Structure 1
Amino acid sequence: MIPLLAALQAAAEPLPEDAPANAAQAVAGTAPAVAHNGIDMLALALHASLPVQLVMLLLLFASVASWVIIFRKKRVLDRAEREADGFEERFWSGTELSRLYAGATERNREVGGLEAIFEGGFREFDRVRQRRGMDARARLEGAQRAMRAAASRELDGLERNLEFLANVGSIAPYVGLFGTVWGIMVSFQGLANVKEATIATVAPGISEALIATAMGLFAAIPAVWAYNRFATKVERMSVRYDTFSEEFSSILQRQAHADD
């Protein structure tokens, strides 16, 4: 037994001293290759089939157009809120209505929001008041109709292009899904001539197809968020316009009875 153990010890060769260092270098050499192995989105898009590429271009256009509308609509709504705040401050400061009307009808000056509603209502009220035989009720009704028309024009301008955001938010995911389904169909169709199908054979085509779904979500999510936010702001402005119209109608009603 003892001679057998001695023979085994003599046959065993010790590990070289630099073995741990070589192993560490091997791991270090393979780690960067794994770390740098990412997804090349551009390459996947360029190697996709023609229908999938058309879907990607459509979604890219929809995304760019949505962001342009989002920035423009934000600027328009912020300006409408600032103008409404400024005009309400002047209106309730005790300034005469005739002076406010003169300021609203100055040359080379565009009015909007609450000031446009005020200008339309006061102009109609003053025009009907100059007619003979018109009672206070007729003057007030004419001013209210003018204010409703002005408010409708202002709200129409604030709501412009919101429909596009709603359409992108609801349709873009389905368009991307169509591109994905088409790409997967093409990938599996290519397996008809392959004897042994593996995951490595199907993975590139499926990856290219899934880019369409990702782009659809990328276009839809900001559009849905922006539409909900802007629609809420427009609704608030609509309530604000209606409230001002009612308050201004009460002032005109008192003035109409005072004139009689």
Structure 2
Amino acid sequence: MQETADQQAAPLPPTGAGGSALLEMLHNSGPVALAVLVLLTFASVFSWAIILAKWSSFRRAQTQSQRFVRAFRKSQRLSEIATVAEQFKPSPLVIVFTEINEEYQRQTGGRGLPRNPVALERAAQTASSEALTRMESRLTWLATIAAIAPFVGLFGTVMGIIDAFHGLGTQGAATLRAVAPGISEALITTAAGLVVAIPAVIGYNQFTARLREFGSRMDDFARELLSAIENAAMSQPAAPQVEERRVRQY
């Protein structure tokens, strides 16, 4: 009977202790730790916004590039592609096609072999560089956040340890109550820095690999387009020079 009474008198563990403990740790954090957490929160929101925006834009670019290549290979004339190129605008291949086509039109008016093939190759390189520069925009922020976030968290860790030693010196005894607030600050800021940095590193590496793929595709498409222009120009029948002279005489 006495054991039953002792068991009834024993306090039960509080429900939701994990969440309340985390909230209590945040509530007891000092101003430096809170400033570090707020800074890391803004960095996390900004990096995730870039990741989602780039993922969406790269997906549209890949889809439109595949459709543009299929339309290009089915067409027989550059003018046909030029009229529908705007429909595939998110694709970087459209920029390459537009630059090469404009340079070809300036040189020949759309007929015959280009007078300066090197200029077409330079136009293709310039267009590829411009397209990649657009797609690379704001990716440096991901690299910056990935590199800085752990050090920001480490700064909060150092300050938390300093607070822990300060608590030991104030109370004059090595008790858990004296060091708990400082240790909790150190652990929270360290974890927050890693949570912010890891997605930024993964996103930056993945997008960098995708940019290399887009660069290779643009180079391949530029070579294919230049070959198509050369083959189409060579297959065009040449106008007889005798008839041209007669027309000039008349």
Does the CA-based 8 Å contact 1:173-1:220 persist in structure 2? yes
2:115 counterpart of 1:114: no
Q: Take 2:35 and 2:135, find their aligned partners in 1: how far apart are those partners? A: 32
Query: Aligned pair in 2 of structure 1 residues 37, 161: CA closer, same or farther (>3 Å)?
Result: same
Q: Take 2:135 and 2:182, find their aligned partners in 1: how far apart are those partners? A: 44
Amino acid at match of 2:189: A
Structure 2 counterparts to residues 188-203 of structure 1, below 5 A: 188-203=165-180
Secondary structure in structure 1 of the residue aligned to 2:75: coil
Please give the TM-score of this superposition, normalised by the length of structure 2: 0.84
Q: Deviations over 1:114-148 (max 9, x none)?
A: 122112111110111139xx97350x222222222
Shift of 1:190: 2.9
1:59 is matched with 40
Q: Take 1:81 and 1:104, find their aligned partners in 2: how far apart are those partners? A: 15
Shift of 1:19: 4.3
Q: Take 1:136 and 1:19, find their aligned partners in 2: how far apart are those partners? A: 104
Does the CA-based 8 Å contact 2:62-2:91 persist in structure 1? no
Please give the TM-score of this superposition, normalised by the length of structure 1: 0.81
Query: Which piece of structure 1 moves more, 62-71 or 206-215?
Result: 206-215
Does the CA-based 8 Å contact 1:66-1:223 persist in structure 2? yes
Does the CA-based 8 Å contact 1:62-1:168 persist in structure 2? yes
CA RMSD after TM alignment: 2.6
Kindly indicate whether structure 1 or structure 2 has the higher relative contact order, using CA contacts under 8 Å at least 6 residues apart: 1
2:100 counterpart of 1:127: no
Does the CA-based 8 Å contact 1:46-1:53 persist in structure 2? no
% identical equivalent positions: 35
Structure 2 counterparts to residues 108-187 of structure 1, below 5 A: 110=89, 112-130=91-109, 136-138=114-116, 140-187=117-164
Amino acid at match of 1:127: R
Amino acid at match of 2:29: A
1:37 is matched with 17
2:28 counterpart of 1:47: yes
Structure with max Cα Rg: 1
Say how many residue pairs are matched. 236
Amino acid at match of 1:114: L
Secondary structure in structure 2 of the residue aligned to 1:92: helix
Unpaired segments of 5 or more residues in structure 2? 239-250
Does the CA-based 8 Å contact 1:162-1:227 persist in structure 2? yes
Shift of 1:220: 0.6
Query: Aligned pair in 2 of structure 1 residues 105, 257: CA closer, same or farther (>3 Å)?
Result: same
Q: Take 1:56 and 1:92, find their aligned partners in 2: how far apart are those partners? A: 54
Does the CA-based 8 Å contact 1:136-1:257 persist in structure 2? no
1:98 is matched with 79
